[in-house]
Chain A
């Protein structure tokens, strides 16, 4: 048994390299005829995060995010089979740098931080 809200939602996500990779912003449940609902994925995305405050705000953000390229503009999903739960966090089977989770981090690093002196790049 898992208590989804208590044990999964908002937990720290850690990637395959052991680095922090955002938080579980949402969960996707599949509702099936004649069978209990099933968790199919978690979402790690500012769009999902914002939607918990206001759908409108989330849609506004998603529209702008969609301009940034292929696969953007919708929340990033990780299939339930690809995650493992530990006491402290939810561990995913991929590196955050290969996903949109770190898109802002990467952009800020490349465009601002690494252009400042002493950034250690």
Chain B
């Protein structure tokens, strides 16, 4: 495949796979509660994940190691177990939220209650992972994920006030309800900078046998793909800012998500929104399950690979099977996907440095990267944003809980 086509495909994959329950609901909540004021949190989060994704692709292309593989080797079993456990715990909640998102889309489409969908969603997700290859999953789901472009169409049709939108790019202090403002900012950051995404990317680079000739493509895909992905999040925020903010409406549960597109695009808008939610969350379900199975298998040195038959990597395949069952229980017991999303996004933000700091150490290690180690800018951007996310989370989450969302 020639490079231009590969770049195009990479960008399509990034854009189609960018939105999921976390980015959709946090951006919608930000727009509903604070208009355009929190656009900066999407910008910062997107900047951080673009850098992280570029780094993880570069890391695997140069070192032929995945991130968990190198972490275990470089830091040893005991130190490696900390990010392993934290990531598994937090991402399991995120996985529950994504599966809830698929179930929510199915409920919106059929009026059949959400918990009924737990088993079908789990079985279909598991079946796709069990039978499909890595590139089929990545390209298939992300291709379908382009339906999320409906948010961009909706946002333009909603005729936003572009100058206020641009004002929101720069961080400002809250005009009202400061605790809630910072809490929503933290959720947006947690939703944008999902650790599973760059772990997934590093394993993908190994599955697709990247070498240093992929570095330029990797950089282009990370920069362009993530920027367009971030714009989709901004589009969701814009829709909420235009349609919900002026009348003081909020996104309280997943039924409220239909208020986002339907008013500008009518009945087709409703169906496109439902499809967007379902496909985006299904894509994330597959990526998170795979990503965590990679994490465990690589950390313990098991045989792994989405292109192998399950019989050839039994522990790897059973790891994602168990994760899907465990996360499916949240849906089965009727846990509200939006509540689960909020908790898991805040926890993601709070725990960002746990995964990011050891990764940055690796990215500056000549043993792995030779002449391709990180520059100062990359180090500074990722370090500052992830530390900021953690500090904001530690401060704002208790305040939000005390204030009851006031």
Seen from chain A, the residues whose Cβ lies within 8 Å of a Cβ on chain B are: 5, 9-13, 19-23, 25, 49, 52-53, 88, 104-106, 108-109, 112-114, 116, 118-121
Identify which of residues 298-355 in chain B touch chain A, using a CB-to-CB cut-off of 8 Å: 300-304, 309-312, 314-315, 317-318
A105 close to B310 (CB less than 8 A):
no
Tell me the bound Cα distance from A20 to B69 in angstroms: 12
Assess the A22–B317 pair: CB atoms within 8 A. no
Q: What is the chain A residue whose CB lies nearest that of B312?
A: A120
Contacts of A109 in B (CB 8 A): 311, 314
Q: Which residues of A contact B69 (CB under 8 A)?
A: 12
Are the C-beta atoms of B77 and A112 separated by less than 8 Å? no
Q: A11-B73, A20-B302, A119-B310 are in contact. List 7 more A-B contacts (CB 8 A).
A: A10-B80, A20-B304, A23-B72, A52-B77, A53-B77, A88-B64, A120-B310
Q: A12-B73, A53-B81 are in contact. Are A112 and B311 (CB under 8 A)?
A: no
With a cutoff of 8 Å between Cβ atoms, the chain B residues found around residue A5 in the complex are 76
**Nearest 3 CB-CB pairings of A with B:** A120-B309, A23-B301, A109-B314
Please determine whether B314 and A113 come into contact, CB atoms closer than 8 angstroms. Answer: yes
A105 touches B301 (CB 8 A): no
Report yes or no: B76 in contact with A10, Cβ–Cβ below 8 A: yes
Are the CB atoms of A118 and B301 closer together than 8 Å? no
Task: Enumerate chain A residues within 8 angstroms of B81, measured Cβ to Cβ.
Answer: 53
Give the number of residues in B that approach A within 8 Å (Cβ atoms): 26
Query: Are A9 and B314 touching (Cβ within 8 A)?
Result: no
B264 → A minimal CB distance (Å): 43
A49 near B77 with CB under 8 A, answer: yes
State the CA gap A121–B301 with chains docked (Å): 22
Measured between beta carbons, the chain A residues less than 8 angstroms from B134 are none
Chain B: CB-nearest residue to A46: B300
A114 B64 Cβ-Cβ under 8 A: no
A sample of 30 inter-chain contacts (CB < 8 A) reads A10-B72, A10-B77, A11-B73, A12-B69, A12-B73, A20-B304, A21-B301, A21-B303, A23-B300, A52-B76, A52-B77, A52-B78, A53-B77, A88-B65, A105-B303, A108-B315, A108-B318, A109-B311, A109-B314, A113-B311, A113-B314, A113-B317, A114-B311, A116-B310, A118-B310, A119-B130, A119-B317, A120-B311, A120-B312, A121-B309
- The minimal Cβ–Cβ distance linking A4 to chain B, given in whole angstroms, is 12
Task: List B contacts of A116 (CB < 8 A).
Answer: 130, 310
The answer for the CA separation of A19 and B72 in the assembled complex, in Å, is 18
Q: Chain A residues near B302 (CB, 8 Å)? A: 20, 22, 105
Is B159 in the interface zone, CB < 8 Å from A? no
Complex Cα gap A113–B81 (Å): 27
- Whether A105 and B309, one on each chain, are in contact in the complex, defined by CB atoms closer than 8 angstroms, is no
Candidates A22, A53, A105, A119; contact of B78 at CB < 8 Å: A53
Tell me whether B131 is interfacial, beta carbon within 8 Å. yes
**Nearest residue, chain B, Cβ from A96:** B303
Are B304 and A118 in touch, CB under 8 angstroms? Answer: no
Nearest CB on A from B405, distance (A): 40
Q: Tell me, in angstroms, the Cα distance from A88 to B310 when the chains sit together.
A: 25
C-alpha gap A108/B64 in the complex (Å): 29
Q: Which residues of A contact B304 (CB under 8 A)?
A: 20
B127 CB contacts on chain A under 8 angstroms: 118
Which of B304, B309, B310, B314 has its CB near the most chain A CB atoms (within 10 A)? B314
Question: When chains A and B are docked, how far (Å) is the Cα of A52 from the Cα of B312?
Answer: 29
- Chain A residues whose C-beta falls within 8 Å of the C-beta of B311 in the assembled complex: 109, 113-114, 119-121
Question: CB distance B301 to A19 under 8 Å?
Answer: no
A57 to chain B minimum Cβ distance, whole angstroms, is 12
Please give, as numbers and ranges, the residues of chain B lying within 8 Å of A105 by CB-CB distance: 302-303, 314-315
Chain B's closest residue to A21 (CB) is B301
A118 near B130: Cβ-Cβ < 8 Å = yes
